[in-house]
Structure 1
Amino acid sequence: MLHSFLNRRLIGRKDVRSRGPHANVLKNDAFLAHSWGGGRGRGRGGNDFGELILGPNGGRGMSRQGDPRAPKLIIPGGRGNSPPTGAPGQLIMPEEGMGVTGMMDIGDSVTTPTPPSRYRPPAGFMNEDGLLEDETSKMSPEEMMNRLRTRAGQWHMLAKCIPSLYKLSYTSANIDEISGITPSEQSRWVVASTIHDSLRLSGKVPPDVMAAFEDGGDELLFPFRYVAVEYRVAAALYIVENRLSPDDCEVLARAMKEWDRRLTERYGFSEHPGDCLAFKYMRDALETRSKSELVKRIEQGLKVAVTDGARARLEEVLKEADELTSAVTSSAASIVVLRLNEDEIGTRAMPILGTYAQVTMRDVESAPRATMDGAFGVFSLVGTTAAQCKWVTLPMWKALSLAKHPAAIEVPDCSRVSSILLGTKSKSDDDRKRLQGPGILVLDVGSVAPYDANPSTFYLASGTANETLEVVDAAALVSMGKHAVATILFLCRPPLREGMASPSTSSGSDVGQLLQL
């Protein structure tokens, strides 16, 4: 029986049937015509004229060699068979064989190759209670138009006419012109009717509740087009019980959809429509800045909340709002808030080791450090001599930010230090005048071997007396054959005093006449 069902449904419909040996019993408008049978399976229902009984064991086929006119039945996974006598083939359905019903050697399960199906099931074919009867299938376009024009029937029944007219090439404008039903109203009827049908087919909505949607129910049900089917029944009961208006239904539908999306925020609120509304009011309260508006939303939520968990969440929000309000003082005083920029907080602290020409190697080797931490660059002093040293902070320039152990040496008058004049290429009197005044020589503490010295860099190394330190270039460092104790980064000058113009020959930067290395 299963095999015969599959052959009828999947192979095709029988248009011409005959019992003669030279007649084609089956013509298939999908993919089969004039078929030769498969194999040597000649049980009951088979004969010597190549008659075919379709089964799972079609056998190995042997087509007539050299005869291109021989019709064949092609089955995926097997080879076509030819009749032994060369006579025209006859395809026999299993239950309608040559006067004998049934087949031999057919197992319990039958597998038949299926072509791509063009069958499109009607809408609602999987509903448990079957399809709702569509009266429009038996009506002419004139009848459907007349019913729409006169509004002869309930809106959800009239809505069935609209898709049927669309299939007959009527447009929404045509229907509007004849019946007076606007395109937006047509869309609302069609969508709301599907929701109405889902409520009827659920079997969980009492008749008196369904009757409440007979008049104007399209405006009440339309907002729930995006609400899951399993929640629509509870929504319908809630609408009728609380006599909600179309606007209220719009709010309820949005609340239920919002509850469904926010899995992590809805704890305490059940899926009941009342709790969904309460959840929406709670979120509205949290988003407002007005205390009176917050209290109003919470009170609305408490009125519609159903479960104790929902009420507890709402009361918790209200309590927190009261505590915040009581903590706010009524004083007219205010606090100014300033947001720092990145360049305003970028500074680095370093110790001042002493005055130039007085700093010894011991001072450099025992130089303390400053560590910085936190969003504001809070620094801590590290080292036994940190408390005895003077400290200075400078902007976080690139050369300073790359230093591993920065330190500083005071220079009372930069124009009197020969190495500074050499490093700044100061040759004229104007150049020397430009360098007059104090400065800070910034260096990076660390030993540098003579063969590692950079020709374009100045270093701090011990002099001939081997006590005090002086600024030397790489060539002098190599000639002395001594290790440098620090690398000179730059010379920092103080800002110009107000009203004091810089010389016209000045080529210094805003950093304060740096000694670029």
Structure 2
Amino acid sequence: MASMLSSTPSFHLLRRRPSILRRISASKLPTPPPPTPPGQAYQPFRPPPSPLPTKYRSLSPLERLEVLRDRLGLWYEYAPLISSLLTHEGFTPPSIEETTGITGIEQNRICVAARVRESLISSSFDPDFLPFFDSLGSAELLYELRLLNAAQRASAARYVAIHRLDPKSAQDLARAIKDFPRRRGDDGWTSFSADNPGDCLAYTHFRLSREAIETPDRVAALEKALEVAETDSAIARIEEEIVKASKGEEAGGDGEDAEAIKPSIPVVRLRYGEVADASSVALIPVVSERDGAGGMEAAPAWCKAEGEMGVVSAERGWGRWVVLPGWGPVAALEGGVAVEFADARVLPWKVGRYEKEAVLVVADRRRRAVAEAEGLYLVAGPREEKETRLGVKRGKELMEKGIEESLGFVVLVVRPPKEGEDDQLSVEDWD
């Protein structure tokens, strides 16, 4: 029997198994802890350091509330007390407000600003400017820089301290710095420096000047840009635009004869989140190109915000609306309407240069007279016996046909957002 077992494969496996198990178990043994000094227990876990300043760590919750109530210390020193009370002591923002008088909004602002200040200390920020942010009011300044990265925060905080900006100006600066990289490819963008906060703010005014309708508004925006621009290339570009505006030339014009000037209608590509970041917005009724002239007439002629809550009321009920940032051409509209076209190639720009995509054409219905040869106008043309479809025509083409009135003057063309694309139409793109 023993000889029979020894001749089977399973018997040999059983004989070899103990050594295999020893090798497997040895490979899975945990790493022994490092040797510790005699008399001390091994402690593999070390709790994180306390976020509270040393002088506040021994205080009871009641004593911490007293520090907050009496503002004992600098704002960024007692800011961690708020977080500790909320996280470890079971307090809520309303209960802290009831005891200390610090509102929930102010609690959040102080805590966020303290973290921003800490990020400045750990970055390349010049420590000589830190005392500027010691006063309680400076917490609101740092709070506005929360959305910037570390390098942007350092340069923005330095700019805020040097120019003694107020919270509203700090907010405008932070938004300009955040928005500047998104404008890559826009006209004049390369003349401004992304590493210079003043240039970022100047480019915001420069861009707004190109959206202005009236020449005085355009010049005023350019003068604001010139006040804050710091690099030589930015200053030169702004001064060039001021000269053009003073001569009454259109933005982007190159001094050509009137017959060769292309339409000066702004064409913008909406960016993701741009409406949410806008300081003001406009609510405009939307009409489909299939609705024809009847749809244009049926759309509300006015809508406006009323009362302290800003509730928007319209002339009549309407089912389709669009919210756009308060750009210059849009903010100045009264009786405006947006026409939705399924194919952007309905516009008179060079065929084949751009793919088929939907666009919104914003028009001013008060300006119906065909008075500008290079302007664009909304018209309705027959497609079938009982159907009309909206279209866009040049003023020159309508004048040649003897047409003196349109459905509205085009003031803006809005293209849909597209990830990773900042393309804008140039003068040469128009047909």
TM-score, normalised with respect to structure 1: 0.41
Greater Rg over alpha carbons, structure: 1
TM-score, normalised with respect to structure 2: 0.48
- Select the structure with the greater relative contact order (CA < 8 A; seq sep ≥ 6): 2
